[in-house]
Structure 1
Amino acid sequence: MDTEQIKWWQRAVVYQIYPRSFQDTNDDGIGDIQGIIAHLDYLKQLGVDVLWLNPIYQSPNDDNGYDISDYQKIASDFGSMADFDALLAAAHQRGLKLIMDLVVNHTSDEHPWFKASRQDKLTPYRNFYFWRAGNGDSAPNNWDAAFGGSAWQYDEQTNEYYLHTFSTKQPDLNWENPEMRQAIYRMMTWWLNKGVDGFRMDVINQISKRPGLPDGPLKPHSQFGDSQVTNGPRVHEFLKEMHQQVLAQFEVMTVGETHGVTPADVLKYAGKDRQELDMVFEFQHLRLDNSQHGFGKWSTRKAPLVALKRVINEWQVGLHDQAWNSLFWNNHDTPRAVSRFGDDRPAYRVCSAKMLATCLHLLQGTPYIYQGEELGMTDAHFTELASYRDIETLNAYQDLVNDRQLLTKADMMARLAASSRDNSRTPMQWNQQLNAGFSSVTPWIAVNPNYHEINVAAALADPDSVWYHYQRLIALRHQEPIVTLGDFELLLPTDTAVFMYRRCWQDQTWLVVCNFTAQRVQRPIMAELKDSSELLLSNYADDLADKLRPYEAKVYRC
C-alpha cells in the first residue's frame, strides 16, 4: 500500500461517545445531544477525526438504547431530530465526521414491527422475527441468551416462542426474510442521505443463524465463540447485498462488531475486495483475562502479556495488506483500559495510561478512543450492587449468587468491579465541580469519586497529562505515513514484561518499546539504541537509555 491508496478512514482516529454519560445540559441526569455539541471544540482540539455515537434512537432502554423501538426517531432523553441535525452540521463544520450505531440483529419488543408480529400470526411482520412452536413444554431449542436464561420467550397471546439472543425485550430479526432486509436498507439509506458518515454495526456477524435453529452447546452465544448464532451460512451474502444496495452509494466507513472471529474470518468480512465491511472489532485480546473456572468474563485476572502480544501479532500480520485492523483497548461494553491492562493506582495511573496509548496507537489500523480514555479515567470500583445499572451485570449476579449459589457475594462483587460494563459508563469527568461537571442533578449512574483528581480541566492545565500524550500520538499518526503504512514486526515475543515491536516503511524504521509492569527492567537492545536512534516520544521526562522504568514507553526512529 502507498499513500495514494489510503482511504480517509485509514488515517483517521475515532472518538467513541456514550451520549447518556457525556454531558447533561437539561438537568435530568442524562447526557444529551446538546451536551455533545457543547464539547465539539474540545474533541477538535484533541485531534480526532470521527465521532461514533452509541445509540440515540427511541428506546425503552432495557439495554441502554440497544433495544430500539424506532430507528428514525431520537430518544427524548437525548433531544430531538432537530438537535441531531444541529450536531451533524456543527461536527461537519469543524471537519469532524460522525458515524451512528447500527443495531439490526434485533429490535425492541416495543418496535411497531414486533408489536404487529405478536398480534397476528398471519401478518407479514410475523416473519420479520423468529417465531416457533415449543418442543412440548420446553423452548424450541436449548440456546441460552447472552444476558442469562433461555434465548426463547413464550408468548401467551400466540402460543409460540420468539428468539432473543440478548434480553427478552430484544427479539432477533429474521434476516432470511427479504422484505425485512429491504426495510433495514431503506432505514440505512435514510440516515446516509441525512449526511451521517457511516455505521458501527452491532453484533453484525449474528444476523445469519444456522438453518433450522438446531440445538447446540449450552452457551451458544457469540461472546463464547460458538457457531450457532455467529458467522452463519448467509452472513456474507447479506453483507454483500447491504453493501451493493446501500453502502456503495456513499463515501462512508463501516466497522462491524464481530465476536468469535479469527483473522481468517475477517478476511471474508473486511478483505480489500470483499465489498462487505471496511473493518471489524475483534475480541480475542479481550478474552485473555476471562475466568479459567467457567465464569466467562466475570474474572479478576489480568491478561498475560505474552498471550496479549501473540494475539495482537496474529491480527497485525494476518490482516496486513489484505484487510484493515481496528485498534481499541476499551469501549462501552468493557472495563476501563488503565484498570484492565495498566495500573490505576495513583503512583502509576498516568504513566501506564500513556504507555497503553503509545502501544496501541502506533500499531497499524484505525484507533478508537473511548470517552475519558484520553484522561486515564479508571474503573468505578463500586462496592454495592445498588450502584450498578447494567442488565448483564444484574442478571449475572442473580444467576451466580442468588440462583445457583456458585459464588459468594464478596467474590462476585470483586468480579463485577473488574468486569462490569458499568465501569465504562460512569459520567465523563469534566471538572472538579458537582458531579464532575456532568450534571447539576444526580446522574443516572454515580460519578467515579476520583473526578476531583481526574478531569478535563485538570488535564488541559497540565502539559504532562495523559490528554496531551494522546494529542501527540494523534498528531504523529496524521503527520507520519509510517504509522498508517508501515509493516509490523513483533520483537521479544516471550518477554513477560516488555512489549516491543518494529514498524518499517520505505527507508524508515521505528521501534516501540513498552514496559507493562511496575518493575524497572533492563534489556540489552535498549543500550544499543542510545547512540544510533532518535527518541521521538516517551512518557517520562528524561531518558535512562538502557533501562525501562515502571510502565515506561519509548518510541525511537532508528
Structure 2
Amino acid sequence: MPKPDSWARDAVIYQIYPRSFADADGDGVGDLAGITARLDYVAGLGVDAIWLSPFYPSPMADHGYDVADYRGVDPIFGSLDDFDALLAAAHERDLKVIIDIVPNHTSDQHRWFQEAIEAGPGSAARERYHFRDKPTDGGPPNNLHSVFGGPAWTELDDQVYLHMFAPEQPDLNWEHPEVRAEFADVLRFWLDRGVDGIRIDVADALIKPEGLPDVPVEPGEPGGDPAHYRNLDGVHEIYREWRAVLDEYQPERVAVAEAWSPGYESLADYVRPDELHQAFNFRFLATPWDAAAYRSVIDSSLAAMAAVDAPTTWVLSNHDVIRHASRFGRLGATTAGVPGGANREEPQVDPARGLARARAATLMMLALPGSAYLYQGEELGLPEVFDLPDEVRQDPVFFRTNGERVGRDGCRVPMPWSGAEPPYGFTADGGKPWLPQPADWAAFTVEAQQHDPSATLALYRTALGVRRQLQLGSGELTWIDPPADDLLIFRRAGLVVTTNCGSVPARLPQQYGEPVLTSGPVPELELVPPDTTIWWRTTDR
C-alpha cells in the first residue's frame, strides 16, 4: 500500500497526451521536446506529477496504444535522449513522472506477432497470443465483440486471433511465462531510467476466461460485451508480481490501474496492500450532475478504499471520454461520461452551462480526500470538438463502427497556447496540427487566460494552491445535512464546500466562514447560484 507519507496518497496528476500537447519540431504532432519546453507552465499549475500517454515506437493504429517496442521512443515523439531530458527537467521542477504501460495487447508489428505470422499455426510463437483454428462454420470462435466495434477475431491463414480492441492490437496470452517475464523486464527498463510510476492500460483484462467462451448478449446488441472478459481473479496474481518489482526501487515507485470495475469492492481489490497503489475511479467520472448521485459515489468510493487502506482517486476527463465542459452541457442527457468518445448524433450542448458545471465539479473534486487526475486543457475550460470533418478523423472507433460512433478525436484536439487563430502556438514554424483546432478557440489559449482572474486557468491555479496549503488530499470528509435536495455540503479541515447541482439558487442556513473561492459569480453569499461551488474558509482544523 502507499505509505502514510507517500506522495501517491494525495497527489494531483496532470495527464499529457503527447501528440496534442506541444510540437517543438513543426511537423504538426506533439513531441517530448515540446512537453519539456512547457514544463514551467505545468509546474505553475500546482500539480505534483505528470502522466504521459504512450510515446513508444508504434504504427499508430490506435495512436500509440498499439506498441511495437516497449523500450523505445517513436521518432515522431523524439528519442530516448529526449525522454531522459524530459524526465530530468520534470524532476528539477519537483514533478513526478508516470508513464503508460500497455500490457493487454501489442501492435501487430511487434516482433512477437511478426514471429507468430512467420512461424504459422501450431507454433510456439503463437502461444504468446490467443490463436484458434477457424471454426468449420466460418464464424468466429465466440460471440465476443471488440471494444472498438465489430468482432473481436481476425483471420490469419488457417487461424484467427483475439483482439479486444482493433485488429492491429492482438491480445497477449498472460498465462504464458514469457509474457510475464517480458513485462517484468520492461518495468525495470523504465524504472531504472528513473520514472516514478506506471499507469496500466486495460489493467482489468489481462487474464481471459478459460476456454474463451461465449458471453451473454443483450437484446439489440450485435455481439457479446467484452466487459465479461474483465476483472477475473487471475489479474491480481500479476499485480502482486509487479508490486514486488516496484518495491525493489527507492525512492517509492507507484502504479495506477485503469480498471472499469463492476463494483467498488472489486475496484478496491486492485489496491490491496500487496498490489497496486491507485485505481481510477471511473464511477465518479460517469456520475450525472445530481447531488444525491455525487454523495452516493463519494461515500461508496471512500468506504471501499478505506477498507484496504488505499487512497481514493477522482477524475472528470481523460483522452477516452468527452471533455467534461461539454458532457455537463448536454441537453437531455442523463449520464455524465462513458468511454469511447462521442456518437454521431450527440445531444445538443449548452456551452455556458457545461463550463459552469465543469468548474463547479472540478472545485468540488479538488476538495475531496485522495488523489486527483486532470487532463490537459481542462484547466482552460476546453470543450469537446464535435464537428471534426470525417476526413480528418483518426480514431479506430470511427472506422470500426462505420462512423456511427465518431470516437475520441474530439477530446484530443491539440492544446491552444497563444495567438488568435490556429495553430494557437501549438506547433513551431506554422505547422499544421494533426487534428484541426476550431477557429473560435482564441479565448481558450493559455496566453488569453494567463492574467485573467476570472478565467478557468486562474480557478485551477488558485484551487490547487489552497488544496496544497490546507492538505485537502488527506484527512476526513464530514457531510453537513443540506437545506435543499440539490445541495451538497461537506466539511474538510479548514474548509466547507457547498455545491448547488440544481436549477435555482439554494439558500444556505448560514455562512460557513469566509468565501475563499467560487466557481462562478455569487451575488449574495446566502444563496448558492445554480451550477456553482463555493469554498468557505473556516477556523476549525
Instruction: Tell me how far apart the structure 1 counterparts of residues 248 and 484 of structure 2 sit (CA, whole Å).
Output: 43
**Secondary structure class of the residue paired with 1:502:** strand
| Higher mean C-alpha deviation, range 324-333 or range 112-121 | 112-121
- Superposed CA deviations along residues 335-354 of structure 1, whole A, max 9, x for unmatched, are 11111125875655654343
| 2:436 matched residue in structure 1 | 446
8 Å contact from structure 1 (residues 432, 451) kept in 2: no
Distance across 2 between alignment mates of 1:349 and 1:365: 25
Paired AA for residue 510 in structure 2: L
Q: Distance in 2 between matches of 1:262 and 1:488?
A: 23
TM-score (norm 1): 0.85
Aligned residue for 1:489? Answer: 479
SS in 2 for 1:34: helix
Residues 509/86 of structure 1: CA separation in 2 closer, same or farther (3 Å cut): closer
1:491/1:382 CA distance change after superposition, 3 Å: farther
Secondary structure in 1 matching 2:70:
strand
Aligned pair partner of 1:554 in 525, 534, 539 = 534
Change (3 A) 1:481 1:264: same
Contact persistence 1:209–1:233 (CA under 8 A): no
User: Match for 1:478 among 458, 463, 468?
Assistant: 468
CA shift for structure 1 position 248: 4.4
Give the direction of change, closer, same or farther, for the CA distance of 1:462–1:557 in structure 2 (3 Å limit). closer
Tell me how far 1:389 sits from its aligned partner.
Answer: 2.0
Q: Partner residue of 1:196?
A: 195
Say yes or no: does 1:11 pair with 2:10. Answer: yes
Displacement of 1:386 in angstroms is: 2.7
Q: Establish whether residue 312 from structure 1 lines up as the match of residue 298 from structure 2.
A: yes
The match for 1:467 is 457
Task: State how far apart, in whole Å, the 2-side matches of 1:153 and 1:4 are.
Answer: 45
Matched with 1:386 is: 391
Q: In structure 1, what is the Cα distance between the partners aligned to 2:248 and 2:260?
A: 25
> What is the match of residue 369 of structure 1?
374
Aligned to 2:341: none
Q: Which amino acid aligns with 1:352?
A: R
Cα shift at 1:536: 2.7
The number of residues matched between the two structures is 510
**Distance between the aligned counterparts of 1:65 and 1:494, measured in 2?**
47
The Cα offsets for residues 188-214 of structure 1, whole Å up to 9 and x where unpaired, read as 101000001110110111011111111
CA gap 1:313/1:442 in 2 versus in 1, 3 angstroms: same
3-state SS, counterpart of residue 255 of structure 1: strand
Correspondence 1:210 to 2:209: yes
Q: In the alignment, which residue of structure 2 is the partner of 1:544? A: 524
- 1:242 and 2:242 correspond: yes
Note closer, same or farther for the CA distance 1:256–1:347 as it changes in structure 2 (3 Å cut).
closer
Counterpart of 1:132 in structure 2 is 132
Distance, in Å, in 2 between the alignment partners of 1:50 and 1:546 is: 37
The equivalent of 2:506 in structure 1 is 522
- The structure-2 alpha-carbon separation of the partners of 1:353 and 1:185, relative to structure 1 and needing over 3 Å to count, comes to same
3-state SS of 2:474 partner: helix
Deviations 1:131-187 (A, max 9, x none): 11122122221111111111111111xx11111000000000111011210011101
Report the alpha carbon displacement of residue 327 of structure 1 after superposing the two structures with TM: 0.9
Partner of 1:429, secondary structure, is coil
1:427·1:448 contact (CA, 8 Å) conserved in 2? no
Q: Please state if 1:510 is matched with 2:506.
A: no
Which amino acid in structure 1 is aligned with residue 99 of structure 2? Answer: M
Cα distance change of structure 1 residues 216 and 247 upon mapping to structure 2, 3 Å threshold:
farther
Q: Deviation per CA, 1:253-305, whole angstroms, max 9, x where unpaired?
A: 2110001332111221113x2x11111113234455xxxxxxxxxxxxx6555
CA distance in 2, matches of 1:379, 1:149: 26
- Paired with 2:3 and 2:478, the residues of 1 have a C-alpha distance of 20
1:349-379: CA deviations, max 9, x gaps?
A: 6543431220111112211110001110111
**Structure 1's 147 and 463: CA in aligned 2 closer, same or farther, altered over 3 A?**
same
Query: Structure 1 residues 146 and 533 mapped into 2: Cα distance closer, same or farther (>3 Å)?
Result: same
Change (3 A) 1:231 1:542: closer
Contact 1:431 1:451 in 2 (8 A): no
| Maintained 8 Å contact 2:152/2:163 | yes
Matched-pair contact (CA < 8 Å) for 1:328–1:367: yes
The SS at the match of 2:311 is coil
Q: Any gaps of 5 or more consecutive residues in structure 2?
A: 331-348
Q: CA deviation at 1:225?
A: 7.7
In 1, are the aligned partners of 2:495 and 2:536 still within 8 Å (CA)? yes
The residue number in structure 1 matching 2:415 is 428
Cα separation, partners in 2 of 1:144 and 1:253, compared to 1, 3 Å: same
Larger mean CA deviation between 167-176 and 242-251 belongs to 242-251
- The whole-number CA distance in structure 2 between the counterparts of 1:75 and 1:494 is 54
Counterpart of 2:314 in structure 1 is 327
Q: 1:355 aligns with which of 350, 356, 360?
A: 360
Contact kept in structure 2, 1:205 and 1:258, CA below 8 Å = yes
Structure 2 CA distance for partners of 1:200 and 1:4, relative to 1, 3 Å: closer
Query: What letter matches 1:536 in structure 2?
Result: V
- Counterparts of 1:490 and 1:118, CA distance in 2: 62
Does the CA contact (< 8 Å) of 2:522 and 2:529 recur in 1? no
Name the residue aligned to 1:72.
71
For 1:198 and 1:342, locate their aligned partners in 2 and report how far apart those are by CA, in whole Å. Answer: 34
Listed one character per residue, the Cα deviations across residues 307-339 of structure 1 (whole Å, up to 9, x for unaligned) are 344323321333236322111100000111111
* TM-score, normalising length: structure 2: 0.88
How far the C-alpha of 1:551 sits from its partner, in A, is 2.3
CA shift in 2, pair 1:453/1:118, >3 Å: same
Q: Which moved more, 1:318-327 or 1:181-190?
A: 318-327
Once the two structures are overlaid, the 10-residue window that deviates more, 429-438 or 30-39, is: 429-438
Within 1, Cα distance between the matches of 2:175 and 2:213?
A: 16
1:493 and 1:23 mapped to 2: Cα distance?
Answer: 47
Alignment CA distance shift 1:281-1:493 (3 Å) = farther
Distance 2:166 2:520 in 1: 46
Partners in 2 of 1:327 and 1:34 — Cα distance?
Answer: 29
Per the alignment, residue 62 of structure 2 pairs with: 63
User: Is the CA contact (8 Å cut-off) linking 2:329 and 2:355 kept in structure 1?
Assistant: no
Structure 1 runs of 4+ aligned residues shifted over 6 Å read: none
CA distance in 2, matches of 1:490, 1:106: 46
Return the alpha-carbon distance in structure 2 between the equivalents of residues 87 and 423 of structure 1: 27
Q: Which amino acid aligns with 1:520?
A: V
Q: Would the alpha carbon gap of residues 247 and 134 (structure 1) be closer, same or farther in structure 2, given more than 3 Å must change?
A: farther
Match of 1:396 in 2: 401
Residue 292 of structure 1 is matched in structure 2 by none
- Paired residue secondary structure (2:423): helix
Q: Distance in 1 between matches of 2:291 and 2:226?
A: 25
Percent identity over paired residues: 34
| C-alpha separation in 2, matches of 1:552 and 1:337 | 15
1:258 aligns with 2:276: no
Q: Summarize the Cα distance change of 1:486–1:450 in structure 2 as closer, same or farther, 3 Å threshold.
A: farther
Ranges in structure 1 where 5+ consecutive residues have no aligned partner: 289-301, 401-411
Partner of 2:280: 281
Q: Distance in 2 between matches of 1:305 and 1:522?
A: 12
Superposition deviation, residue 482 in structure 1 = 4.3
1:335-346 correspondence runs (5 A): 335-342=322-329, 345=350
- For structure 1, which segment, 479-488 or 26-35, has the greater mean C-alpha deviation from structure 2 after superposition? 479-488
Does the 8 Å CA contact 1:353/1:466 hold for their aligned counterparts? no
Q: Give the distance between the partners of 1:96 and 1:253, measured in 2 at CA.
A: 14
Asked if the contact 2:326/2:351 (under 8 Å) is kept, the reply is no
Q: How much does 1:390 deviate? A: 1.2
How far 1:54 moved relative to its partner?
A: 0.5
3-state DSSP of counterpart to 1:114: helix
Partner of 1:437: 425
1:21-170 matched pairs, under 5 angstroms: 21-120=20-119, 121=121, 123-136=123-136, 137-156=138-157, 159-170=158-169
